[in-house]
Amino acid sequence: MDRLSLLGIVLVLGAIFGGQLVEGGQLDTLLNGAAAIIVFGGTLGAGLLQFSLPEARRALAIASWVFSPPTFNFSEGTEKVVSWSIQTRRFGLIGLEKQAELENDDFLRKGLQLIADGSEKEAIRDIMEMELNLREQRDLQAARVFESMGGYAPTIGIIGAVMGLIHVMTNLSAPETLGAGIATAFVATVYGVGLANLVLLPMAGKLRSTIHQRYQYHEMMLEGFLSIVQGHNPLAIRLRLESYLR
């Protein structure tokens, strides 16, 4: 669990509900079923309308990265590449075949297998760069699902507000229903703006950051693979990859 993301959620909820209490309001005034249906349902529907099913599935799959992002240790990655380089000097490139079987990261596993199979440097570069770029594009598109819904949510909130006001105007002869209609109008706006700026857009930003970090990590490892194929000295490989360290 990413503690920083959890802290962010706590601060968001604390600020909203705490501010409501400080102003002397009641917490239950922020709970409105009709507004929630309009905003959450409308935002989800608009997002599904814009994107394809595979994109929506991928967005759902990587949503967990907001609270449990994959970790990429650049220092450990550098040490891995150096150890693989030393191993190839002792046992040849074929020695990396067993390392490929032990590697959990499928990108690294493919790279090691290509090296062990004796692939040329340019072939390895072309294959791995294509996969690297396609992965990044696919996941960035998935992050745009949340970014796009963040753009729709405030507008859906306004729609909810207008619908609430319409309800109020059509029931002026029944004063007892005016309060509920006005509440729906204002709460729908709060839901729309809050959902966009406190949930969806921050989620999209966090996902983009994680995707970029993963790209840099795999880019570093690819540079290491190419250095191994070219037979570079382990010390030279370490110095080359240290430029990626943070």
Let me know whether 8 and 94 are in one domain: no
Its domain, for residue 123, covers: 33-244
Centre a 10 Å sphere on the Cβ of residue 36 and count the other Cβ atoms it contains: 16
pLDDT category at 21 given cuts 50, 70, 90 is low
Let me know whether 9 and 68 are in one domain: no
Residue percentage of the chain with pLDDT more than 70: 88
The pLDDT assigned to 175 comes to 66
Spatial separation of the C-alpha atoms in residues 47 and 12, rounded to whole Å? 24
Burial tier of 163 (Cβ tally within 10 Å: 0-12, 13-18, 19+): middle
Centre a 10 Å sphere on the Cβ of residue 238 and count the other Cβ atoms it contains: 17
Query: How does the average pLDDT of the chain come out, rounded?
Result: 87
The pLDDT assigned to 102 comes to 86
pLDDT in tens, 171-218: 766 666 666 667 667 888 989 999 999 899 999 999 999 999 999 999
Let me know whether 179 and 138 are in one domain: yes
Residues sharing a CB contact under 8 Å with residue 151, sequence separation 6 or more, in sequence order: 196
Residues sharing a CB contact under 8 Å with residue 152, sequence separation 6 or more, in sequence order: 42, 43, 46, 47, 196
Q: Which of 36-50, 154-168, 226-240 has the lowest mean pLDDT?
A: 154-168
Let me know whether 222 and 199 are in one domain: yes
Question: What integer is the mean pLDDT of 143-148?
Answer: 95
Let me know whether 137 and 216 are in one domain: yes
The pLDDT assigned to 139 comes to 95
Let me know whether 70 and 19 are in one domain: no
pTM score, two decimals?
0.84
Let me know whether 110 and 160 are in one domain: yes
Spatial separation of the C-alpha atoms in residues 113 and 223, rounded to whole Å? 15
Number of domains making up the chain: 2
The pLDDT assigned to 151 comes to 94
Contact 188, 164 (CB under 8 A): yes
